């Protein structure tokens, strides 16, 4: 993980002088004519975000997630703390730190979006001191959000109780998290959000808007089951989409025992997702197919009043927009 810390951008500074070094960073930027937050501008930073790069993270993946939170901060100015735990236990308790800052100017000088990064790398023996150091790095009057990325075990992540308990939202990605991540007894389970669910927002909206055109009794009358088929890379999205459909159908009055399934699309079938409702009457059906490669989707349905066909667009939220969706909605 030291390779990750070394690969990420920033200026290495002594851990004890992070705050002063950030102030100097902005002062130097302002002195050279670059964009910098005003000292009395309370709106320069809106949220605290801790990005915890788990032990399954590679340097390339870390760089990608760094860009995601940097893009996120263009809309939501942030203080971001990046945690880079070391793989190898050295017996030492020394932490290393980096700082990085950037401001983005909009249409006017008053439209300023700033991001501050503090990167910390530490051996396991330094864990007892980590929460104190993180708390010093955060803006105390702003809400905290915690994104745990590619962690190896839920039980090991549970050791970070300060972050899990204080965070307004804990963000996980069930496509790459341990299997029990969404059912583990976290200190604040109501604050846990799945990034898979968030990035499916456009898919949920387009399917939901189509089905909302029919009465609930029409949708569930004679409904025998629902299936979400998926391309090779989208098993997690299919699982989450099916769970969402189950909740929506249950709200319409569908039986709790309604047969539900996910299945891989046949090789060479193309597409990314295929949703199917089966009915006791063979003449009734609902089909939706979406292809994320082409951005095209199609509805085919007959609920007993005639056949309907409709073309639509399909996409997933970008990673930075999915991050915002999970944090704030």
- Read off the pLDDT of residues 133-179 as tens digits, 9 standing for 90 and up: 999 999 889 999 999 999 999 999 999 999 999 999 999 999 999 99
Q: Is residue 324 situated within a structural domain?
A: no
Joined tokens for residue 40: 């009395």
Q: Is residue 222 situated within a structural domain?
A: yes
Whether residue 10 is found in the same domain as residue 106: yes
Whether residue 263 is found in the same domain as residue 181: no
Total domain count, the chain: 2
Listed residues 166, 195, 224: the one ending a domain = 195
Q: Is residue 327 situated within a structural domain?
A: no
Average pLDDT, the chain: 92
Band of residue 90 on the pLDDT scale cut at 50, 70, 90: low
- 3-state helix, strand and coil shares in percent for the chain, rounded to the nearest 5: 35, 30, 40
Give the mean model confidence (pLDDT) for residues 250-279. 94
Residue 91 clears pLDDT 70, i.e. is over it = no
Whether residue 168 is found in the same domain as residue 216: no
> pLDDT value at position 109?
66
3-state secondary structure of 23: helix
> pLDDT value at position 42?
43
Q: Is residue 64 situated within a structural domain?
A: yes
| Cβ-contact 111, 28 below 8 angstroms | no
Of the candidates 240, 216, 220, 221, the one whose C-alpha atom is nearest the C-alpha of residue 230 is: 240
> pLDDT value at position 40?
47
Whether residue 275 is found in the same domain as residue 258: yes
Whether residue 159 is found in the same domain as residue 210: no
How crowded is residue 118: how many other Cβ atoms within 10 Å of its Cβ? 27
| Cβ-contact 135, 54 below 8 angstroms | no
Listed residues 195, 219, 234: the one ending a domain = 195
Joined tokens for residue 17: 């002088």
Whether residue 228 is found in the same domain as residue 178: no
Whether residue 188 is found in the same domain as residue 218: no
Q: Is residue 215 situated within a structural domain?
A: yes
Whether residue 179 is found in the same domain as residue 265: no
Q: Is residue 328 situated within a structural domain?
A: no
Joined tokens for residue 242: 């099916």
Band of residue 93 on the pLDDT scale cut at 50, 70, 90: confident
Q: Is residue 318 situated within a structural domain?
A: no
Listed residues 143, 178, 195: the one ending a domain = 195
Residues in the chain: 329
- Read off the pLDDT of residues 26-79 as tens digits, 9 standing for 90 and up: 888 777 777 677 654 544 688 999 999 999 999 999 999 999 999 999 889 999
H-helix segments, the chain: 2-7, 18-31, 59-73, 127-137, 154-157, 161-166, 195-199, 201-211, 216-220, 235-251, 319-328
What is the chain's Cα-based Rg?
23
* Strand-pair partners of 100: 117
Give the mean model confidence (pLDDT) for residues 98-113. 80
Whether residue 94 is found in the same domain as residue 140: yes
pTM over 0.85: yes
Phi-psi region of 89 (alpha: psi -120 to 50; beta: other; left: phi over 0): beta
Answer with the residue of higher pLDDT: 125 or 295: 295
Whether residue 18 is found in the same domain as residue 161: yes
Residue 130 clears pLDDT 80, i.e. is over it = yes
> pLDDT value at position 146?
98
Band of residue 7 on the pLDDT scale cut at 50, 70, 90: very high
Place of tokens 């735990």: 85
Q: Which long-range contacts (CB under 8 A, 24 or more apart) does 109-115 make?
A: 112/35, 112/37, 112/41, 112/44, 113/73, 113/74, 113/75, 113/77, 114/35, 114/36, 114/37, 114/44, 114/45, 114/73, 114/77, 115/69, 115/70, 115/73, 115/74, 115/77, 115/78, 115/79, 115/80
Residue 89 clears pLDDT 80, i.e. is over it = no
Nearest-10 crossing angle of helices 235-251, 201-211: 30
| Cβ-contact 264, 232 below 8 angstroms | yes
Whether residue 187 is found in the same domain as residue 273: no
- Read off the pLDDT of residues 186-232 as tens digits, 9 standing for 90 and up: 999 999 999 999 999 999 999 999 999 999 999 999 999 999 999 99
> pLDDT value at position 297?
97
Joined tokens for residue 105: 């100017």
Three-state SS for 155-222 is: HHHCCCHHHHHHCCEEEECCCCCCCCCCCCCCCCHHHEEEHHHHHCHHHHHHHHHHHCCCCHHHHHCC
Q: Is residue 210 situated within a structural domain?
A: yes
Whether residue 179 is found in the same domain as residue 66: yes
Domain that holds residue 161: 2-195
Of the candidates 216, 200, 212, 198, the one whose C-alpha atom is nearest the C-alpha of residue 299 is: 212
> pLDDT value at position 140?
87
Residue 1 clears pLDDT 70, i.e. is over it = no
């Amino acid at each position: 993980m030291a390779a990750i810390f070394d690969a990420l951008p920033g200026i290495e500074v002594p851990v004890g002088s992070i705050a002063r070094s950030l102030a100097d960073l902005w002062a130097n930027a302002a002195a050279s004519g670059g964009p910098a937050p005003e000292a009395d501008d309370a709106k320069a930073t809106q949220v605290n975000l801790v990005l915890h790069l788990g032990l399954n993270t590679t340097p390339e993946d870390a760089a990608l997630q760094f860009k995601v939170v940097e893009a996120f901060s263009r809309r939501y100015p942030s203080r971001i703390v990046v945690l880079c735990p070391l793989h190898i236990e050295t017996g030492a308790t020394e932490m290393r730190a980096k700082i990085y800052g950037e401001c983005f100017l909009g249409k006017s000088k008053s439209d300023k979006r700033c991001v501050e990064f503090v990167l910390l790398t530490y051996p396991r023996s330094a864990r007892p001191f980590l929460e104190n150091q993180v708390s010093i790095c955060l803006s105390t009057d702003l809400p905290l959000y915690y994104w745990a990325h590619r962690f190896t075990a839920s039980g090991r992540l549970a050791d970070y109780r300060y972050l899990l308990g204080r965070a307004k939202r804990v963000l996980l990605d069930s496509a790459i998290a341990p299997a029990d991540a969404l059912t583990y007894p976290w200190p604040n389970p109501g604050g846990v959000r799945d990034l898979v669910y968030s990035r499916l927002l456009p898919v949920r909206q387009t399917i939901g808007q189509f089905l909302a055109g029919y009465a609930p009794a029409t949708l569930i009358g004679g409904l025998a089951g629902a299936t979400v088929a998926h391309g090779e890379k989208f098993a997690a999205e299919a699982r989450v989409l099916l769970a969402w459909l189950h909740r929506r159908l249950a709200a319409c009055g569908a039986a709790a025992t309604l047969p539900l399934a996910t299945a891989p699309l046949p090789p060479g079938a193309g597409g990314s997702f295929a949703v199917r409702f089966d009915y006791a009457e063979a003449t009734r059906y609902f089909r939706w197919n979406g292809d994320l490669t082409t951005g095209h989707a199609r509805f085919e349905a007959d609920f007993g009043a005639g056949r309907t066909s409709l073309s639509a667009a399909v996409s997933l939220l970008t990673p930075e927009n999915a991050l915002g969706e999970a944090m704030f909605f």
